[in-house]
Amino acid sequence: MHGEPEARRAWVALCVLSAATAAAQPDAIQARFDAPEPLRVGDRRAVVLVVEGVETELPVLVTTAEEGTAIEVVRGRLTRLDAEAPGAEPLRFPIPLVARAPGTSVLRAEVRTFACEGPTDDAPCDEVVRTATLTLTVARAAR
């Protein structure tokens, strides 16, 4: 029973190290769009970008762009404070857009944040960039 306290300390240290390592894994950070409702010309709607795996104290920058003329993104840059609940996991960013014309457009969102090797006050951090893509089809307005 002499080695029991040392074994317990080693187990606690391993658990803390595992938690810090898991938090530092850039692969844990993911970005994807929720499937939106169908769009018609003239609709003003928000498409939701979901970002998972970001530590709550780290900054997040989302930059959006569209390809094609069917949609127009109303707001091209968002930060953590623009999320529905900035301290939540996952983060949910409503991206406002307008359906301008019938056809197809591609919506892209680039997410920039950090993955750190432990508590973020003094731990080394690496920038992480993720991109989510969504193809949107806009139908003619209902008559």
Percent of all residues in the chain with a pLDDT value above 90, rounded to a whole number: 69
Going through the chain in order, the beta strands assigned E by DSSP cover 30-33, 39-40, 44-52, 61-67, 71-73, 77-79, 91-99, 103-116, 125-139
pLDDT in tens, 56-100: 889 999 999 999 999 999 999 999 999 999 999 999 999 999 999
Domains of the chain, with CATH numbers?
4-139 (2.60.40.10)
- Give 96's strand partners: 46
Question: Is 92 in contact with 33 (CB distance < 8 Å)?
Answer: no
Does position 9 have pLDDT exceeding 60, yes or no? Answer: no
